[in-house]
């Protein structure tokens, strides 16, 4: 048995093929990991096809095939990038058109050769058994150079793959990192095509890393495991080719793909063997005990397709949160959505004078007189128990409500719109995107309710008398607690918080009985209180402004911190003991909440901020703050963890007098 596994490699040509294949597998593993993580498989396929005219021209001109293939692959990549920037075509359309064009050009060039069939077969499928010592040197050199580039650029490659915006703000130069990754892809393809050919090189580039991703999430481990899987595919492919008389390159690629499917099945079985056992047992019980009657249909689950899968029709799921800013000119109502990652601004429409704006993490609510225009920012986070799912779709106007929105409080399925007269209207949030304006089923409010905050599938309400209640499918129940004259209501990840005359109250309890915990104002609190509070979406720490004072509420600790700031215009906090304050003179400060001391200040606005008109805001996500300047049509992106560094200045088409953030 051992002789059968070793004997084929006694031949020099097979041994050289094995060495070349292992080097190619290691080279493709280093690059293929990034190809998969960046979702560039289709581009990779197009580049492998796009090499054909370059290789063919090089053969006809008598120059290095590697140089010809590299130039053609880079031309393909540059063409895709150029069409993506200048055309209204989608990236897939651009890649597909260039793929067909380059492949056709390659066939035309090869057809001018005197050995059309042989040359084309060699170009497309390779000849692993014809590898020479010079080819091994080229492969080894490409492997060393690629390994060095991957090690040096690892931090930049990770950032540009998972958060291009952070890569830019950290100074990791994504505009350079992306072309370098494309260059590495081209190098791997060109160096490996002689082993498995232009059509099959994608098998080594994608299949081993895809198989490795089923077993590891660490990028270096995925690369190492992918190299081992690719090397195994080379060995098994050559072994099968020797005994079965099949084409070596095609067999290697086929084995790599088969290993991927086997790895996927094993991984699925590893994570789901208990569930599979239960399903099998249930099937046996049903089969054995069934009476032949018609089984009832299962309950429909329109948004959940599994224990850890959430499906939203018409949207794509993302690996991480996406930041988009809804910008409004309050004078004209001109509205746009700005993608902070791609720096692309999408015009939505113009709605006349806008009195105010509210947001719920996905939708922006523009108060236009006695009505509200709802704009879908096209990015949102779906809380799913102890973890989140992230979605994106195209920004658009989706609905017009017949009530004016003074403030909004929302969860996944319910949105409560509070009017300037303290009336509240409820809407099914999931249906708003389809321009369906409908109240959530089974929930009704009593006439004396003046503040509402959704909490899961229930509503926490406050009446005009300050009495707190919870309303659900089973009716309304009083809570032990009170909130006189409520002014604001906001949900966090695990609670809802109301602002009252006496301080704040926090309501918690999950699916069980709810508990009201008060957070009274400190004794030294000034008479004038903040009318609204801000926070990073779903965070437990809030910040607000009144004349001469910045107020910080840690709702979990039930504690207030007051910082005297004479000229505060806007404030916000992401927790962590720091609050940001925008001053009337156009500067932005950071204060330490515990010591109440200013820790950093930077000039932000070129001039003083006027006291009349819409006031700028400070919107936060997990690592950036955004401040709008309508006068200069700019939005400042601030890295508040790095000394208030101005990471970017975003230029806008709309004068952003009003702004809310969505996606996080």
Domain boundaries, the chain: 2-199, 311-441, 444-520, 524-657
Q: What mean pLDDT do residues 344-351 have?
A: 94
Per-residue pLDDT band at 168 (split at 50, 70, 90)? low
Specify the CATH architecture of the domain 444-520: Beta Barrel (2.40)
Global pTM reads 0.60
Specify the CATH architecture of the domain 524-657: 7 Propeller (2.130)
Per the CB < 8 A criterion, the answer to whether 428 and 414 are in contact is yes
Of 243 and 311, more confident: 243
Q: Do 2-199 and 524-657 agree at the fold level?
A: no
DSSP 142-166: HHHHHHHHHHHTHHHHHHHHH-HHH
> For 522-551, how does the pLDDT look when each residue is reduced to its tens digit (9 = 90+)?
988 888 889 889 987 778 899 999 989 999
Looking at residue 44, its pLDDT comes to: 74
- CA–CA separation, 540 and 532 (whole Å): 15
Per the CB < 8 A criterion, the answer to whether 632 and 586 are in contact is no
Looking at residue 77, its pLDDT comes to: 72
> For 463-509, how does the pLDDT look when each residue is reduced to its tens digit (9 = 90+)?
999 999 998 877 889 999 999 999 999 888 788 999 999 999 999 98
Looking at residue 390, its pLDDT comes to: 84
Per the CB < 8 A criterion, the answer to whether 98 and 46 are in contact is yes
Single out the residue of 428, 369, 429, 432 nearest to residue 403, CA to CA: 369
pLDDT at 407 over 80: yes
Q: What are phi and psi of 59, to 5 degrees?
A: -65, -45
Looking at residue 294, its pLDDT comes to: 36
Per-residue pLDDT band at 606 (split at 50, 70, 90)? very high
Q: What mean pLDDT do residues 115-130 have?
A: 56
Q: What mean pLDDT do residues 358-367 have?
A: 93
pLDDT at 167 over 70: no
Per-residue pLDDT band at 166 (split at 50, 70, 90)? low
Looking at residue 509, its pLDDT comes to: 84
pLDDT at 348 over 60: yes
Helix (H, G, I), strand (E, B) or coil at 317: strand
Of 645 and 291, more confident: 645
Single out the residue of 413, 421, 417, 388 nearest to residue 402, CA to CA: 417
Task: Give the CA diameter of the chain.
Answer: 95
> For 319-335, how does the pLDDT look when each residue is reduced to its tens digit (9 = 90+)?
777 889 999 999 999 99
Q: Count H helices, E strands: the chain?
A: 14, 35
> For 432-471, how does the pLDDT look when each residue is reduced to its tens digit (9 = 90+)?
888 889 988 888 888 889 999 998 888 999 999 999 999 8
Of 250 and 326, more confident: 326
- CA–CA separation, 470 and 457 (whole Å): 11
Per-residue pLDDT band at 199 (split at 50, 70, 90)? low
pLDDT at 270 over 70: no
- CA–CA separation, 31 and 37 (whole Å): 10
pLDDT at 285 over 50: no
Helix (H, G, I), strand (E, B) or coil at 543: strand
At 650, list the tokens. Answer: 């975003």
Look at phi and psi of residue 25 and say left if phi exceeds 0, alpha if psi is from -120 to 50, else beta: alpha
- CA–CA separation, 9 and 453 (whole Å): 72
Of 296 and 535, more confident: 535
At 348, list the tokens. Answer: 């939505």
pLDDT at 283 over 50: no
Per the CB < 8 A criterion, the answer to whether 330 and 658 are in contact is yes
Per-residue pLDDT band at 250 (split at 50, 70, 90)? confident
Per-residue pLDDT band at 114 (split at 50, 70, 90)? low
Looking at residue 601, its pLDDT comes to: 94
Q: Classify residue 615 by its DSSP letter.
A: P
Mean pLDDT, the chain, whole residue set:
82
* CA 220 to each of CA 119, 191, 375: distance values in angstroms, whole numbers, following the listed order: 38, 22, 42
Residues 6+ apart with CB under 8 A from 296: none
Per the CB < 8 A criterion, the answer to whether 363 and 374 are in contact is yes
Per-residue pLDDT band at 169 (split at 50, 70, 90)? low
According to CATH, the superfamily of the domain at 2-199 is ABC transporter involved in vitamin B12 uptake, BtuC (1.10.3470.10)
Q: Percentage of the chain surpassing pLDDT 70?
A: 83
> For 12-35, how does the pLDDT look when each residue is reduced to its tens digit (9 = 90+)?
778 888 888 888 889 888 888 888
At 317, list the tokens. Answer: 């799921």
Q: What mean pLDDT do residues 583-596 have?
A: 94
- CA–CA separation, 366 and 363 (whole Å): 10
């Amino acid at each position: 048995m051992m002789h059968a596994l070793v004997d084929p490699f006694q031949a020099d040509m097979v041994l050289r093929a094995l060495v070349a294949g292992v080097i190619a597998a290691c080279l493709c593993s280093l690059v293929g990991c990034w190809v998969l993580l960046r979702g560039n498989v289709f581009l990779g396929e197009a580049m492998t096809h796009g090499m054909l005219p370059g290789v063919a021209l090089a053969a006809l001109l008598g120059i290095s095939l590697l140089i010809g293939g590299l130039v053609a692959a880079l031309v393909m990549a540059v063409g895709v990038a150029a069409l993506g920037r200048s055309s209204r075509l989608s990236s897939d359309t651009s890649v597909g058109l260039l793929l067909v064009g380059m492949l056709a050009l390659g066939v035309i060039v090869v057809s001018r050769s005197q050995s059309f069939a042989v040359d084309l077969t060699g170009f497309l499928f390779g000849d692993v058994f014809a590898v020479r010592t010079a080819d091994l040197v080229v492969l080894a050199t490409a492997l060393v150079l690629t390994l060095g580039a991957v090690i040096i650029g690892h931090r930049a490659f990770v950032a540009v793959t998972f958060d291009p915006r952070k890569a830019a703000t950290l100074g990791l130069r994504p505009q350079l990192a992306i072309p370098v990754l494309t260059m590495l892809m081209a190098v791997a393809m060109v160096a490996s095509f002689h082993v498995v050919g232009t059509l099959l090189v994608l098998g080594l580039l994608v299949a081993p890393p895809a198989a490795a991703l089923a077993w590891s999430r660490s990028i270096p481990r995925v690369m190492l495991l992918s190299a081992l899987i690719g090397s195994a595919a080379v060995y098994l492919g050559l072994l099968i080719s020797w005994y079965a008389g099949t084409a070596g390159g095609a067999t290697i690629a086929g084995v790599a793909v088969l290993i991927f499917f086997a790895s996927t099945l094993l991984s699925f079985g590893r994570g789901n063997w208990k569930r599979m056992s239960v399903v099998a047992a249930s099937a046996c019980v049903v089969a054995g005990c069934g009476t032949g009657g018609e089984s009832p249909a299962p309950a429909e689950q329109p948004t959940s397709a599994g224990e850890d899968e959430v499906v939203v029709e018409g949207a794509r799921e993302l690996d991480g949160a996406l930041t988009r800013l809804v910008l409004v000119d309050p004078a004209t109502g001109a509205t746009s959505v700005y993608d902070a990652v791609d720096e692309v601004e999408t015009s939505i429409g113009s709605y006349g004078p806008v009195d105010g704006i509210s947001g719920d993490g996905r939708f922006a609510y523009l108060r236009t007189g006695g009505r509200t225009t709802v704009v879908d920012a096209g990015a949102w986070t779906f809380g799913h128990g102890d973890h989140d799912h992230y979605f994106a779709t195209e920004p658009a106007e989706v609905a017009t409500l017949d009530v004016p929105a003074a403030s909004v409080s929302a969860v996944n399925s319910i949105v409560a719109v509070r009017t300037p007269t303290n009336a509240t209207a409820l809407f099914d949030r999931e249906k708003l995107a389809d321009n369906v304006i409908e109240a959530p089923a089974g929930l009704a409010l009593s006439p004396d309710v003046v503040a509402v905050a959704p909490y899961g599938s229930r509503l926490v309400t406050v009446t005009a008398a300050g009495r707190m209640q919870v309303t659900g499918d089973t009716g309304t129940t009083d809570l032990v607690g009170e909130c006189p004259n409520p002014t604001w209501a906001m949900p966090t990840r695990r609670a809802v918080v109301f602002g009252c005359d006496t301080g704040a109250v926090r309501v918690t309890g999950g699916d069980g009985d709810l508990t009201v915990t008060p957070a009274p104002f400190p004794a030294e609190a000034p008479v004038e209180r903040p009318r609204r509070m801000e926070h990073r979406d779903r965070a437990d720490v809030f910040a607000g402004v009144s004349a001469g004072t910045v107020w910080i509420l840690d709702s979990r600790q039930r504690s207030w911190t007051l910082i005297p700031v004479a000229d505060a215009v806007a404030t916000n906090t992401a927790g962590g003991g720091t609050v940001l304050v925008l001053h009337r003179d156009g500067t932005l400060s950071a204060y330490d909440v515990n010591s109440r001391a200013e820790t950093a200040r930077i000039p932000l606005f070129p001039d003083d901020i006027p006291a009349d008109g819409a006031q700028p805001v400070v919107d936060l996500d997990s690592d950036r703050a955004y401040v709008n300047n309508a006068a200069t049509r700019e939005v400042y992106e601030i890295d508040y963890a790095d000394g208030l560094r101005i990471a970017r200045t975003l230029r806008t088409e709309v004068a952003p007098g009003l702004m809310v953030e969505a996606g996080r």
